Structure 1
């Protein structure tokens, strides 16, 4: 499990040595490769990683898990559950706080997408640029070669990563071993660099630079990018393997390499532009470039898989429209592929590589989304500490407030890079935020319209004075609320004059837990007159499967036979209202999003030859 975690969890933060120190001393930060600045930067970097990653994430935030799952949505769910268990004296206070928690979670989710667009591009380009250390003439081939690697990576997504994934852990184990050995060799040659472990050197640099230190912070933050992945991927491996991997392998390898780079700069300041690849002799640079490229591909794969996983969660929780989700492994639940997301992400990354042209320029865009997401995690963790862990609020505010100081400093520092490219992740996050909030608000209005016009199912059954002639077989009607008569059922009865001998009103609920045990999958209620109410429950990490849910109803007296069953689905046709509560722009955007949503029969795995769609118009 530890080796597996190396290949999935630590790819992003593990490739940071490729560019962090280089950017700190080259990218307009005002840092010089002098002894005072090198020791000061290393001191700040060491303590930033210690406070942000080791203490905040590995020690504290990873305690907050939703049935083993981590990530911003899990934090928000825990905070909401804790809120439900506490009395709020202010009228409507609970509802407002829950909406605020949801809004913060959506912001964190949006920032994650902003980060995901940049990470593969900057990682792969940084590795390929190592060829310039062999021969400066290779610079012209950096962009084409980076594009080739990235495009091939996205093309291979449809095949799944099960086979390649077995190699990820061992390769990253070699990578961190190489990082540590290369750094240790330079530290042995220049042991004075270890003075940077003393925080005084960092504090002296901050005092000397004043506000100018924020430009250096904007590059030093690259050392902690990927820290949120430790928490987000906790459900794949568990808390203990990730902690062991970080403390025993990743942290030592990273720190040895950073300090080794610092020692090399102290010995020869001229190497600062390619300091990572200068850790090895000239004839070994190509081998290091190849290993670096492989490590960055693994880091990119981890980000892409994370995007797929988080998008599925967002769809299940109603944050995004339904999309096609393909399972690429029969044994691994987490092996999924979302074609639409894959190609959109690839197009965005290709545009970035072509538009920026180098990792130096991309570094200006990197960091703002990451630090914003870290602030969101710290905010939600504070709420969880008070509501769930029952910490006294002054203690919780003191602990998480202190740990948020580095995040806030890094966020401000990266805000200064907005003109240099920092606007890019904000733009991506803003578009995602607008999409999520528009979709959620639009679905709320559509749901309210359907509920308002719906007839309670018990009233319908009471008014059935006599049972009409029935046709053989079973009819399944999907609905958002099993207590009301589905519109598709009324349309079928009114226009087709058909009533099956067995009618199942099926409601599919997504719970705020990752997975629902099979024993609690379905709840069946006999309504009489051949009607059944069925509720199928799924976690936000599961893919709904309606035929499987119906098979689970057999112990409850429903004999499901697919060839004798017809599935009736409602298809809503949205019509723009003259005065929409969404506003003109959001109304049109919501209608466009609805058109792109995958068909219900595909999303719920309903056999296409057994599905019948009946539509109705709704004004929005």
Structure 2
């Protein structure tokens, strides 16, 4: 079972016999409020989008049964079999999500650099598409909920967009306060939501029981064989019923596999299946309900309470995706795929509750633009599918390499197991490519922008570190230090910590300091910070210390990509080695690089080098990222050609 988020908040507890986990039912209730908000609100817009007149699919009994069958069996195959049964097994030390899967897949082919590079590129593209999902999910979810107002009374239609924008602005403005206060009520609200979904669906099934024919998989297959092209187009909307499937995998580390599987099969899947069957039954009995089949499931007197409940449910769904975007941003920063940004920890107990201001306001701007630009949940449905299916496709691809090269399963079994799902994902993705002109371009543009930023930063950072290591490597640390200590150099009181990219080379900051100040501190640490391709590093493995003689030490601090970076706290683990640091007598020396793009370089295009230089120049404060005291940091400049 994966490690809980709270367990990671205190390094002193890591690596013990295991943190205390709440009872499985408590975790299951919490998972309902975090994991299933997105997929749980899909019934608001899926069938409405499928039968949108623009798709050209006539509304008749045969088509309704065929579409509902496709939705039911898509949930069964993609979510139940692919994610819950297979992909949740591909965990990185208990953690899930595309960044965790990417690091696992990349490490499994570490001896094949070209293949590893290709997998990194694919994984970064999947992560970039997730940002597109993070923009569209709040927009389509909240908008589809508020559209219930115009079902209650057409006179309220002009207020749908303003109310949606107000709800979204309030949601994003509250992010800086964290989710601890409202998180406790998410689970119970989603229980009520799913029970109502199932109840409303069941009532309508009883009015038109012939919809149960949709449970036959051959009904969906016959629909596809009969319509062919129209069925292929319809798949682009059917996939909306699967939005949020990635959350089951991404949040595995917070709740564990068992609670997620328990809630899926015990409540969520049955409620969704019954509700989709109920909407299909309603359309069989009353085709005029197509204007909004979800809200038409309910009596007129319940519409306003349902709009309120639906809006709350979609806010919960949006919150889960927004929080997931923050989490992935932090992981990408620690894996060197994004520049360092300010990360605010909004809870003293839950390390997973973070807030990234820069990402928050960029997301809000994009969400507002999506709501105003598309204007309806149906129009946004055309944009939604590409982001979802693209991420799903890449997840399946990465899973193959984990199963084959990390688990060493038989090649034929690996191809059969993942190839089956790959074909399904590729079909859904291809169907959504038809919607590029109708809005599919929107998440693709977001994805391409983020992919360019992430790949450029990753490549540029790798090149810059290589150049720094080469420069440091030209002067090996131990011989240099031996010669330096044998000289009559003045040593002053206090501790100097020199940040070094290469533990075996002389850090540039030391050379600059010697050149300018001609002194060496009484105690000197050469400190290297590394990030492993695992989510958590135990406290017992956090710090490695090597004595170099005459009160000089080589220290390596290792983090996982989900660990909180706090260098002063990590250095407290040096006490067993006799190293105790007095904050007022400790100075941190760092090199601040100025990148100089090199025309004609074959390693990266000049425009990408310039983009990297701009990002590096505007990067967040490295000292703040490492949690270093601002008044104890000394930065020395260095020019790096890439």
Q: TM-score range by the shorter chain?
A: over 0.9
Q: Equivalent of 1:264, from 271, 278, 282?
A: 282
- Aligned-residue offset at 1:514: 1.0
Is the contact made by 1:130 and 1:285 (CA closer than 8 Å) also made in structure 2?
Answer: yes
SS of equivalent to 1:470: strand
Is the contact made by 2:492 and 2:520 (CA closer than 8 Å) also made in structure 1?
Answer: yes
Distance, in Å, in 2 between the alignment partners of 1:9 and 1:284 is 27
Gaps of 5+ in 1: 85-92
Q: Pairwise mapping of residues 456-471 of structure 1 onto structure 2 (< 5 A)?
A: 456-464=476-484, 465-471=486-492
Q: Pairwise mapping of residues 271-350 of structure 1 onto structure 2 (< 5 A)?
A: 271-350=289-368
Is the contact made by 2:525 and 2:555 (CA closer than 8 Å) also made in structure 1?
Answer: yes
Q: Corresponding residue for 1:192?
A: 210
Q: Corresponding residue for 1:38?
A: 64
Gaps of 5+ in 2: 1-26
Q: Corresponding residue for 2:462?
A: 444
Deviates more, 1:358-367 or 1:54-63: 358-367
- Pick closer, same or farther for the CA change 1:109–1:27 going to 2, 3 Å: farther
Say if 2:608 is the partner of 1:586. yes
Deviates more, 1:454-463 or 1:341-350: 454-463
Q: Equivalent of 2:437, from 405, 419, 438?
A: 419
- Aligned-residue offset at 1:579: 3.8
Say if 2:44 is the partner of 1:18. yes
Q: Corresponding residue for 2:538?
A: 517
Say if 2:166 is the partner of 1:148. yes
Q: Pairwise mapping of residues 114-513 of structure 1 onto structure 2 (< 5 A)?
A: 114-454=132-472, 455-464=475-484, 465-513=486-534
Distance, in Å, in 2 between the alignment partners of 1:467 and 1:148 is 69
Distance, in Å, in 1 between the alignment partners of 2:163 and 2:314 is 13
Is the contact made by 2:37 and 2:317 (CA closer than 8 Å) also made in structure 1?
Answer: yes
- Pick closer, same or farther for the CA change 1:120–1:304 going to 2, 3 Å: same
TM-score normalised by structure 1 residue count: 0.97
Distance, in Å, in 2 between the alignment partners of 1:554 and 1:474 is 15
Distance, in Å, in 2 between the alignment partners of 1:277 and 1:80 is 46
SS of equivalent to 1:67: coil
Is the contact made by 1:171 and 1:295 (CA closer than 8 Å) also made in structure 2?
Answer: yes
- 1:512-554 residue CA offsets vs partner (Å, 9 max, x unmatched): 1111111111000000122100001111001211111221101
Is the contact made by 1:12 and 1:226 (CA closer than 8 Å) also made in structure 2?
Answer: yes
Q: How many residues align?
A: 612
- Pick closer, same or farther for the CA change 1:115–1:313 going to 2, 3 Å: same
Q: Corresponding residue for 2:18?
A: none
- Aligned-residue offset at 1:404: 2.2
Q: Equivalent of 1:76, from 102, 121, 140?
A: 102
Distance, in Å, in 2 between the alignment partners of 1:576 and 1:252 is 57
Distance, in Å, in 1 between the alignment partners of 2:409 and 2:640 is 48
- Aligned-residue offset at 1:580: 4.2
Distance, in Å, in 1 between the alignment partners of 2:464 and 2:404 is 36
Distance, in Å, in 2 between the alignment partners of 1:234 and 1:196 is 31
Distance, in Å, in 1 between the alignment partners of 2:353 and 2:217 is 43
- RMSD after superposition: 1.3
Deviates more, 1:199-208 or 1:520-529: 199-208
Distance, in Å, in 2 between the alignment partners of 1:596 and 1:245 is 44
Q: Equivalent of 1:48, from 59, 74, 78?
A: 74
Distance, in Å, in 2 between the alignment partners of 1:515 and 1:396 is 28
Is the contact made by 1:27 and 1:360 (CA closer than 8 Å) also made in structure 2?
Answer: no
- Pick closer, same or farther for the CA change 1:235–1:137 going to 2, 3 Å: same
SS of equivalent to 1:413: helix
- Aligned-residue offset at 1:584: 2.7
Is the contact made by 2:468 and 2:501 (CA closer than 8 Å) also made in structure 1?
Answer: no
SS of equivalent to 1:365: helix
Distance, in Å, in 2 between the alignment partners of 1:121 and 1:403 is 29
Deviates more, 1:348-357 or 1:394-403: 394-403
Say if 2:563 is the partner of 1:542. yes
- Pick closer, same or farther for the CA change 1:133–1:60 going to 2, 3 Å: same
TM-score normalised by structure 2 residue count: 0.94
Distance, in Å, in 1 between the alignment partners of 2:490 and 2:423 is 71
- Pick closer, same or farther for the CA change 1:186–1:611 going to 2, 3 Å: same
- Aligned-residue offset at 1:193: 1.0
- 1:260-318 residue CA offsets vs partner (Å, 9 max, x unmatched): 01111111000111111011111110100100000000000000000000000000000
Q: Equivalent of 1:568, from 586, 589, 596?
A: 589
Is the contact made by 2:57 and 2:230 (CA closer than 8 Å) also made in structure 1?
Answer: no
Distance, in Å, in 2 between the alignment partners of 1:607 and 1:490 is 23
- Pick closer, same or farther for the CA change 1:213–1:276 going to 2, 3 Å: same
